[in-house]
Structure 1
Amino acid sequence: MGTAAGLSLKYRILFTLLVTALVWAHLIWDHFNGGVPTHYLLQSEDLPGISNWWGGLTLPLATFLLLFWIHRYLSTGNEQKANESRKKSFLRFIRALVFGIFISVLFTMGSPAPGYMMLLAILISFFVPLYRPEYLLGFILGMSYTFGANLPIMVGLILLLLFLFTYKIIRYGFLHLISNLRIK
């Protein structure tokens, strides 16, 4: 993949261009088929709305920045470790992509399951470092067709902080407490 351990610049650019082409194709299709939707915070038209047009800029930018973050994360090991890390990173991305797609599909069906799925993700983040950038990228891309790009980016960033806090702070405190109880 180019660099000794990370993702090559060529791969990051090509993937970003693919995402850019898909988001702009979707925006153009929306434009000529009823208009580009605006999504409102908390689904209330009394609150500020965010047009999907912004996604033509924010989704490619978020994609490139997250791929850079993944590249930096993968660039810390040797070549053999990097190949294994790339595979794991790709699987994390796919899991999050499928999770985002499921949330989107269930939401459009009117199911209450997406709320429970989010709570389950928070619980899982106690055991699994869901704050990694490949999870965020998959989640955003999986939900962007249904919700536009901006709401998944905002929700994803909030979840990333929550997952980071859960895994690094709450989990550490819990494990520290357990180890102190074992010593006594």
Structure 2
Amino acid sequence: MRPPMLAVYADGRAIADAAHELRLPPAEVKTLVEALNHDLAGQPATASPRPGSPRIYDVPTTVLGVDSGSGMREVHVPSLEHAAAGYDAALVTARDRLARLADRVTTQGGNYSTDRVRLSSEHVTVPATPAKPLPEGVPLPPETQSGSGNKDYKGNKAHTIARLIPGDGSWHVYRRSTGEHIAFSWRYLLPHE
């Protein structure tokens, strides 16, 4: 459900956390792509920490990627946010460069929105907070066997979701007419999704 921390497109559009956007000049995009190409050159598809580095389990993997016109080059770096000292300095440099740009997009950019959203739902057996009645018109994503599901919506359905369910990245619990409880979270989709 979590969007990429930052996505930068060839036209200069930079989007942070699917919530903020800023237009970058072409020269800055070119410099960024060149720097990332340099940082990711020679890196394996999945980076490994240096021998002797502590292993950290159950933490997210950072994905660093760049497309200079010949296809996306991605490097998956497990636990980079918690064990940066164990990885090649070029990977840490790339992560820091992108993090600084994401911060700039968040502080200087405007709000990002589109007419496309991803809605996630999950059955809740015992809600931790009081549940409100499910707003009329909110579509229910098809549910998987585990009791949760995701679905992308566009147009009027997306606008209805954005209007009736808070879009703060948190889960919000609602009571269906059947008495069941369901939690929703949604985010705007990025242009490439």
Say whether the fold is shared (TM-score over 0.5): no
Structure richer in strand, relative to its length: 2
Structure richer in helix, relative to its length: 1
TM-score band by shorter chain is under 0.3
TM-score (norm 1): 0.20
**Higher radius of gyration, 1 or 2:** 2
